[in-house]
Structure 1
C-alpha cells in the first residue's frame, strides 16, 4: 500500500507533517509506504532528525508550493511542479493509492474533481465532518461546504456516500440516515428539503429514518445527517468554535475534547474515484497521523469500489 502525502501544505509544514509521520509509524503495526511530495532540501534533514526509516518513505521532489491565497485552478495549471500537482499526478497514474494534503483546499478540490474525477453516476462529490455525539457515539454530517447550493438528487446521493463511509470506515452497521430540517414532520422545510424527503424515503440503499432538527445533531438521533453545504458549513464552523471556546476558558470535559479536529485528521472527498483527504491548514502532528490512518483504512476497506458498485446498481 502506497499513500501520497503533501509535505508542504499547511501553516506548520513540513515540520508537523514529519512529526505526524513519526507518530503514524510508531502507532501502526503494518504501516503503508509513504510517497512524500515536497522540497527535498527541506525534507531530508527533517526525516533524518526524526529518525524516519528510509524504507518506509520516498521523497518525490516538488520545488513549487501552492500558497493558501492562490487561485486553485490557475495555480494547478501554472505550478505543475508543486507538491499538490505532483501528488495528484502520482495518484492519477497509479503510483500511489491515496493522496493527503493540508494545503490549499481549493486546489485539492479542483485536483480531486479533474485529475481523479468523480465515480461514474455521482453528480457531485461531497465532503463531510465527524460529529461527536453526547453519548459517546460518532455521527457524520455532509455536505459541509463543497456544495453550497444543491438539488434533491444531490442530497440523495450524499446519503448513499455518507452511509457507505459510516458503515465501512466508522464501523456503524446499518447507519441511520436523516435529513436535517426545521421540523421532524414530513413536509416541513424549504423546497429543497420537501423534495428531498421522498427521494430518501424511497431509496432502498439507505436506512432513512426521517427528519432531524438542529437540536438533534449532537444527540444520538441519526448516524448520517444530510444537508446542503451552506447549512453544513455553518454547523461545522460552530462545532469548531465549541472546542476553541472551551479550551480558552479552560473548561475541561472529555466530551468537549472530542470537538478537536486533530482527532479526526481531515475530511475525505467522497464520490471521487480514489481516496483524497483534505486537512485543516493549522494541522499539527496528530492531525497528519490521523489523516494517514483514515487513508489507509479507506484503502483496506476498498471503499471507492464499494461506492462505485453502489452507483452501478
Structure 2
C-alpha cells in the first residue's frame, strides 16, 4: 500500500483547498494507495463533513502548528516541531509515508528536503523542474526552474542525467533527448557556462545529448525532451509562460489542447529532484484542482520509483 502524505495546512486557501483537493484525488488513487493528511484534525474533519466524505477514507495525523509563508523557513522548521510540514517530513524520513506534498512554504519544504531527507549521494545540487507542453503532443521537462540561480557546468551536466531519468521514468519517454538552453544551436554559441556545459555533455555517455536548443524551439518538441538551464533562466522562462497563459485566459484564447495544458492546475506541483524520497512542492495559490494534480503527481513519482532510479543512476 502506497501512502501519500499531504500537508493539509499548506497553501493560501488551506485547509479547505487542500482537503477538497484530496477528496478529488480519491477517484484516481486506486486500491493500492492511501492519502495521509497532516494538519489540524478538527478543521480537516469539518471540511470533509462539508464535502460529504467519510473521514475513514483518509489517515489523519493531527498537528497543532503551521509554518506560515512569512516565517523564516529554517527557524520555523526547527521551532515549530509540531507543524504539518515538519511532522510530514518526519514521517517521510521514517518510511511511514512514501511521498510528501505541500503547497505551503517552499523554503520550509526545501529545508526538509535538504536537512531531513538529504540529497542522493553524488548529487551536487538537487533541482526543481517543470513539465512543459509541446505542440508535438508530448510533454518536455525544464530544469532547473528556480532552486539554483547560479550553476557550474558540472551541476548542469548532472541536471541532464537527472532530467533524463525523470523523463523516462515518469513521462514515459524512451531515450529522451537532452539539450542545453542557449542563444543559438551552434556549439560555439553562448556564454562561458553554456559552452563548458556543452563540452561536458557531448563527452558523456549516460544520456542522449541533443546539443543546444533555442528558446523559440522550447515548446515545439522537435529538438529536445529535457531542457537544461540554471534556475535564473529556467524561472524566467517558466514565469513568462505562466504570464502568457494568463493573458490568453483574459483574451479567451486558451481553447486548444496546447494552451490548456499550460494551466498549472493540471500539473499541480514540481518534484525536488535529487533527494532520497519523493517530495512535491505546489503553488501557494493552489486550488482544489491543483492540489488534486499535486497528489496524483506524487503518487506517479512514487509508483515509477523515481527516487530509486536516480539513486541507481548516481551510484552505479
TM-score, normalization by structure 1:
0.97
Which residue number corresponds to residue 285 of structure 1?
288
Q: Tell me, yes or no, if the aligned pair for 1:261 and 1:287 is still in contact at 8 Å.
A: yes
Q: Tell me, yes or no, if the aligned pair for 1:32 and 1:56 is still in contact at 8 Å.
A: no
Cα RMSD of the aligned pairs, angstroms, is 1.2
Q: Tell me, yes or no, if the aligned pair for 2:282 and 2:294 is still in contact at 8 Å.
A: yes
Cα distance change, pair 34–215 in 1 and its aligned pair in 2 (3 A):
same
Alignment of 1:1-313 (within 5 A): 1-30=2-31, 32-220=33-221, 221-254=223-256, 255-313=258-316
Q: Tell me, yes or no, if the aligned pair for 2:126 and 2:274 is still in contact at 8 Å.
A: yes
- 1:31 CA drift (Å): 5.2
- 1:29 CA drift (Å): 3.0
What secondary structure sits across from 2:109 in the alignment? Answer: helix
Distance (whole Å) between structure 2 residues aligned to residue 29 and residue 35 of structure 1: 14
Distance (whole Å) between structure 1 residues aligned to residue 282 and residue 76 of structure 2: 19
- 1:22 CA drift (Å): 1.5
Distance (whole Å) between structure 2 residues aligned to residue 12 and residue 31 of structure 1: 29
Q: Tell me, yes or no, if the aligned pair for 2:245 and 2:254 is still in contact at 8 Å.
A: no
- 1:230 CA drift (Å): 0.3
Distance (whole Å) between structure 1 residues aligned to residue 217 and residue 235 of structure 2: 17
Stretch of structure 1 that moved more, 122-131 or 49-58: 49-58
- 1:231 CA drift (Å): 0.2
Distance (whole Å) between structure 1 residues aligned to residue 271 and residue 203 of structure 2: 27
Count of aligned residue pairs for this structure pair? 313
Stretch of structure 1 that moved more, 14-23 or 229-238: 14-23
Distance (whole Å) between structure 2 residues aligned to residue 150 and residue 215 of structure 1: 23
Distance (whole Å) between structure 2 residues aligned to residue 307 and residue 134 of structure 1: 28
Q: Tell me, yes or no, if the aligned pair for 1:242 and 1:259 is still in contact at 8 Å.
A: no
- 1:186 CA drift (Å): 0.8
What secondary structure sits across from 1:150 in the alignment? Answer: coil
Distance (whole Å) between structure 2 residues aligned to residue 156 and residue 263 of structure 1: 29
Q: Tell me, yes or no, if the aligned pair for 2:154 and 2:197 is still in contact at 8 Å.
A: yes
- 1:85 CA drift (Å): 0.6
What secondary structure sits across from 1:60 in the alignment? Answer: strand
Distance (whole Å) between structure 2 residues aligned to residue 29 and residue 97 of structure 1: 15
What secondary structure sits across from 1:49 in the alignment? Answer: helix
Distance (whole Å) between structure 2 residues aligned to residue 75 and residue 138 of structure 1: 36
Distance (whole Å) between structure 1 residues aligned to residue 111 and residue 212 of structure 2: 32
Q: Tell me, yes or no, if the aligned pair for 1:20 and 1:284 is still in contact at 8 Å.
A: yes
Cα distance change, pair 305–27 in 1 and its aligned pair in 2 (3 A):
closer
For structure 1, the residue ranges without an aligned partner over 5 or more in a row are none
Stretch of structure 1 that moved more, 72-81 or 21-30: 21-30
- 1:27 CA drift (Å): 3.1
Distance (whole Å) between structure 1 residues aligned to residue 91 and residue 27 of structure 2: 26
